[in-house]
Structure 1
Amino acid sequence: MAQDRVEAVERALTVLEAFDGERTTMSLAELAQATGFYKSTLLRLLGSLARFDYVRRGSDGLWQLGDSPGRLARRQAPAQRLAARVQPLLDEMARELGETASLLEQVGETVECRLASLPATPLRHDLHPGMGWPLDPSMPPCLAFAGGVMVTQPLPELPGVPRRWLALSGPTGRLNSNEASQALARAANSLECRPRGVDAEEMS
């Protein structure tokens, strides 16, 4: 709503958004081009942001992000970051394929469902976070259930992070294993290709 807008705040946020790219440092001229702001306006905004360490100016005169954005990001619970990254992919697969999509995790000698998205159909695999089953290290972490099948895709193993898999599950005869494998591979690849990667902290 228009009455809820604070122009100075939105301008400051626009400056921070300009750093959301491949370049980690920018000159005043480059920031002016990226934001559309006059240099005089930018200097005032950068001065305020620098006082709270959201940005800082190096000895070479180039601007970069300070420590405050990372400090605030670390305050977000890892589980929330994980859900924010993976849940939309699960929702998309469940919607497109009409099957249950989930994120599985190794917990000791068991496999546990961490996240799940159920399709909008009464005949489905009702898998929910917290459900677990024994893990056979020599076999895929698929759950065997009556009248159904599960297909899994391993995610890259990271230091300090449990083994994880994306999975699709549904009734035998309806779930196409080839289509499921392809969809899972695409989803796993999209996680790997995120601009900032999926590091141990974000996936913990």
Structure 2
Amino acid sequence: MEAVERALTVLETFDSRKESFSLAELAQATGYYKSTLLRLLGSLERFDYTRRGEDGRWRMGGTPLRLARRHPPSRDLALRVQPVLDKLARQSGETASLLEVSDGGVLCSLVALPPDQALRHDLTPGTQWSCQSVHDPQLRMAGGEMLCQQLDGGDALAPDLWLALSGPAGRLESTDCVRLLKTATHQLHQGASPGDDL
């Protein structure tokens, strides 16, 4: 029971505006020894509750987001948006995603990867990054770009949700991604069936 409570205390630390934490920062936030934290983080990482980046810093993993989708409002949103993302990725040949923007940070909630596209942006749900403005949630990528369109209004869609297409630089415009992105956004606002043509 004590180990479970300690692990949950570590997870609570990630409920912060900070995108990532060093081991020392986690030790300071939780009051646990680094050796204890490494054991807890190792277990949490095995189940993808946390992830350790190449920079050695710890971030939230994909499992909390996956479980959160079981909550009725999130589940309904996923059921409504995922088919649109799947079709958007298939038609554009680029990675389609749903982004949540809050407090200067962006969270990737849903993703559809383009089929049969070797060179693509391998974005995964749960990925987070900082943004300079709530009006510009783009992820800055070396050699890549992201186009974003805000979903603003309706009962199921909040103003902090965005549709995005991302891929190698210079390729998005050539596949008419801007038009597809705007059409998909309009489709979601109108409550159209995911099977309707974009």
Common topology (TM > 0.5)? yes
Report the equivalent of 1:134.
Answer: 130
Q: Is the alpha carbon distance of 1:177 and 1:141 closer, same or farther for their aligned partners in structure 2, counting shifts above 3 Å?
A: farther
Q: 2:184 aligned with 1:184, yes or no?
A: no
Q: Give the 3-state SS of the residue equivalent to 1:88 in structure 2.
A: helix
Post-superposition CA distance 1:124-180 (Å, at most 9, x none): 001111101112127521101111010000111468946011000000122217822
Q: 2:167 aligned with 1:173, yes or no?
A: no
Q: Give the 3-state SS of the residue equivalent to 1:128 in structure 2.
A: coil
Q: Which of 91, 103, 110 in structure 1 is aligned with 2:105?
A: 110
RMSD: 2.6
* Structure 1 residue ranges without an equivalent (≥5): 1-74, 196-204
| TM-score, L = length of structure 1 | 0.54
Q: Give the 3-state SS of the residue equivalent to 2:108 in structure 1.
A: strand
> 1-side partners of 2:159 and 2:99: how far apart?
10
The alignment of Structure 1 onto Structure 2 pairs a total of residues equal to 122
> 1-side partners of 2:172 and 2:126: how far apart?
23
> 2-side partners of 1:149 and 1:177: how far apart?
13
Larger Rg belongs to: 1
Q: Calculate percent identity across the aligned residue pairs.
A: 46
Post-superposition CA distance 1:72-118 (Å, at most 9, x none): xxx97111101111001100011111100000011322011010001
Would the aligned equivalents of 2:153 and 2:189 in 1 still touch at CA under 8 Å?
no
Report the equivalent of 1:47.
Answer: none
Q: Which runs of 4+ in 1 moved over 3 A?
A: 157-162
* Structure 2 residue ranges without an equivalent (≥5): 1-69, 193-198
> 2-side partners of 1:91 and 1:178: how far apart?
16
| TM-score, L = length of structure 2 | 0.56
Would the aligned equivalents of 1:151 and 1:177 in 2 still touch at CA under 8 Å?
no
Q: Give the 3-state SS of the residue equivalent to 1:166 in structure 2.
A: strand
Would the aligned equivalents of 1:157 and 1:163 in 2 still touch at CA under 8 Å?
no
